[in-house]
Structures are given as structure tokens and as C-alpha cells.
Amino acid sequence: MQLLLIELKQLLKKHALWQREAPSEAALSSQQPFAIDTLEPHEWLQWIFIHRIESMLAAGQSAPSGFEIAPYFEQVWKGQSQYQDILTVLKKIDGAAK
């Protein structure tokens, strides 16, 4: 999972979707799925998904299982073929989480 997260971060940077400054605490504390009410999809990937998975792995915990995030991003980026490489990695992450 760690290698997939590294690849995901590299692709977000390649597509200029990586941010240097975190969103506000209020934006990060959204209770909605994918923080849809406060964050852009790529912000959720960077500041919530990647951060939480890396924190779990660093603490010696197993990565979570039984989730799928690629379908959400397929809908969000529908018709935006430039993000196909990111979608491919997200599908690999989903596969690793099964």
C-alpha cells in the first residue's frame, strides 16, 4: 500500500493537484463522505485519505480494507482523461484493500 500512496502523491504533483498549505481545520473536519461539502476531491485525497493511511502504517497498523474510492473519482473526473493515470492508481489501491 505504501508504494501505491507514493505513486499517488507523485501523480497528484504531476497534475498540479498537490497543495503546500492545508485547508482550514473546519474544512478538514467535515462529516460528509469525501468531505464533499468542504474539500475538492484532490484535497480529500491529499489531506485526509493519504494522511490517514500513512499515519496508520507509520503506527504499525494494517491499512484498512473493504473500501472502494475509485468509483467516486471516476464520476468526479468523468470526461477528464488527463486524470486517467490517477484513476488507475486508485483502482490499484482499491484492489489492495479487498
pLDDT digits (tens, 9 = 90+) for 2-15: 999 999 999 999 99
By the 8 A CB rule, do 94 and 81 touch? no
* Tally of CB atoms within 10 A around 49: 19
Query: The whole model's pTM is what?
Result: 0.92
Contacts 24+ apart (CB under 8 A), 39-45: 41/72, 41/73, 41/76, 41/77, 42/12, 42/17, 42/18, 43/19, 45/8, 45/12, 45/17
pLDDT digits (tens, 9 = 90+) for 24-58: 999 999 999 999 999 999 999 999 999 999 999 99
Residue ranges per domain, the chain?
2-19+38-96
CB hemisphere CA count around 98 (13 angstroms): 6
